[in-house]
Amino acid sequence: MVGDDWDRLIRDLIRSGILRSPRVIRAMRIVPRVLFLPESQKPYAAIDTPLPIGEGQTVSAPQG
């Protein structure tokens, strides 16, 4: 499930020291990346890499 994977990614980014701001962590938990992806990319929402969103554009990697 994407939600569980997203929570796991957030925990991993916190554990690795990439995510430190409580405000950013809260925002990522409230507004998951999957909301900004086209249907074809939603299964990959919790992968820490840029993803295509159309028109030659990408959504940034969560660590970015």
Alpha-carbon Rg of the chain, whole angstroms?
12
Catalytic residue among 16, 21, 40, 60: 60
16 assigned to active site: no
Residues 13-54 pLDDT 10s: 999 999 999 999 999 999 999 999 999 999 999 999 999 999
Distance CA 59, CA 36 (A): 8
CB neighbour list of residue 11: distance below 8 Å, 6 or more residues apart:
none
Range of the domain at 54: 2-59
Q: Is residue 16 included in any domain, yes or no?
A: yes
Between CA 30 and CA 15 the distance in angstroms is 19
The helix or strand, by DSSP H or E, that contains position 59, with its residue range, turns out to be: strand 57-59
| Within a domain: 64 | no
Whole-prediction pTM: 0.85
**pLDDT tier, 64 (very low <50, low <70, confident <90, very high otherwise):** low
Count of structural domains, the chain: 1
